Structure 1
Amino acid sequence: MPTSFLEIVELPDGRIVLRRADEEEALVTLEFSADAKGFLQGQHIEIAKAMFNVGVQMAGRLAEGGDVGMDEDPRVLH
């Protein structure tokens, strides 16, 4: 992926996207349910920022050929 500035944007429909600052197309999209937003007491934007931050860090490690702790076995995601 070419180097460019990334931005986190909350869209009018409530989705939160990570995109290149000079493009409209989303690289990653997060959508929290009403229940999740209630549970997070309005802090869903901070949670989204943290999720994107960790994802970008892991992508950087992968790009550098580093190990991010992934096994060969299938993983349960929950």
Structure 2
Amino acid sequence: MPTSFLEIVELPDGRLVLRRAEDEAVLVTLDFSDQAKQFLQGQHVEVAKAMFSTGVQMAGRMTDGEQDELEGEDEPRVLH
């Protein structure tokens, strides 16, 4: 992915999206349920920022050649 500025935008329907600043195409979408928003006491945007940040960092490491041991797995993984 070419280097560009990324932005986090809250859409009118409440979804949070990550996109390039110069493009409105969505790269990633997070949609917190009302129950999750209540549990997070209105801090869901901060949680989303952390999730997006971690994802971008991990993608950067993967493109830099730091592939993890999951390559080549044929079976579904349980994500916690």
Q: How does 1:26-41 map to 2 (within 5 A)?
A: 26-41=26-41
Normalised by the size of structure 2, how large is the TM-score? 0.88
Gaps of 5+ in 2: none
CA distance in 2, matches of 1:21, 1:75: 33
What is the number of residues matched between the two proteins? 78
Tell me if the contact between 1:61 and 1:68 (Cα under 8 Å) persists in the aligned partners: no
CA distance in 2, matches of 1:14, 1:34: 10
Normalised by the size of structure 1, how large is the TM-score? 0.90
Counterpart for residue 76 of structure 1: 78
1:75 positional shift: 1.9
- Shift >6 Å, 4+ stretches: none
Counterpart for residue 65 of structure 2: 65
Tell me if the contact between 1:58 and 1:68 (Cα under 8 Å) persists in the aligned partners: no
